[in-house]
Amino acid sequence: MVRRFILTGFIVFASFMSYKAWTIYQFNQMPSQQRADILTSIPIEGVFSLTDHNARSVSMKTYFGRHTLIFFGYTWCPDVCPTVLSDIAVVMDNLGQQSKQLVPILITVDPERDTVSVLQDYVSNFHPDIVGLTGSLDEIAKTAKSFRVRYGKMYLDPDEPDDYSMSHSVTLFLMGPDGKPLRTFRHNEGADELTKELRAVFDGT
């Protein structure tokens, strides 16, 4: 009886997480403008108070005066996150001197595994200017809510609580020098297109 109850509970939970993952997937497949319209229909606060990969306490105000390109992901991510960060690294190189106007930021959605030292090792594999941010479970939850980002654990084995992946939104947020949202990009925009779009922003065109 107990086993049946546990199994039923797991099936319900798995169904809910599958639905949540599907809604995230649907949102990420929308055209940039449609996603931008949805995101701006309810203003994004875009605020945080977290710890960077050098163990310094930072907030959005830390980066005032420069644009920030913010992406939510995690270091155990098998494909999307490293691809996005690789593209961002190419973008930073492509921008040349204009890269000084931009701070690329990875905010983890898996703070239990993504400690300061783990993030430091991870972001250093992509580009020296990429910043990794982590925090407590509550701090990450508040930050994600501020950006209206969805995420959740996807357990691979119900008997192994540490064996999980993370389902999460994969939108990139471009914030202005005042910390306010300017626009969003799809995760598969590509380095060349991202470079073009960011140059247009920096040039005021």
Looking only at Cα atoms, what is the longest distance across the chain?
A: 66
Q: pLDDT-based confidence at 163, cuts 50/70/90?
A: confident
Q: Where is 154: in which H helix or E strand?
A: strand 151-155
Give the 3-state secondary structure of residue 100. Answer: helix
Q: What is the pLDDT of residues 36-74, one digit of tens each?
A: 555 545 568 899 999 999 999 999 999 999 999 999 999
pLDDT tens digits, residue range 98-134?
Answer: 999 999 999 999 999 999 999 999 999 999 999 999 9
> Where are the domains positioned within the chain?
2-203
**Distance (Å, rounded) from C-alpha 11 to C-alpha 5?**
10
C-alpha dist (Å) from residue 194 to 18, 67, 81, 84, 186: 30, 14, 16, 11, 9
Answer yes or no: are the C-beta atoms of 73 and 14 closer than 8 Å. no
d(CA 126, CA 85): 7
pLDDT tens digits, one per residue of 72-84: 999 999 999 999 9
**What is the predicted pLDDT for the residue at 28?**
58
Q: How confident is the model at residue 20 (pLDDT cuts 50, 70, 90)?
A: low
pLDDT at 157: 80
CATH fold of the domain at 2-203: Glutaredoxin (3.40.30)
Name which residue leads in pLDDT, 7 or 25.
25
Tally of CB atoms within 10 A around 132 = 27
Distance (Å, rounded) from C-alpha 109 to C-alpha 97?
A: 31
Mean pLDDT of 191-204: 93
Residue 68's DSSP bridge partners are 103, 175
> Cα separation of 55 and 133, whole Å?
9
Q: What is the pTM of this model?
A: 0.79
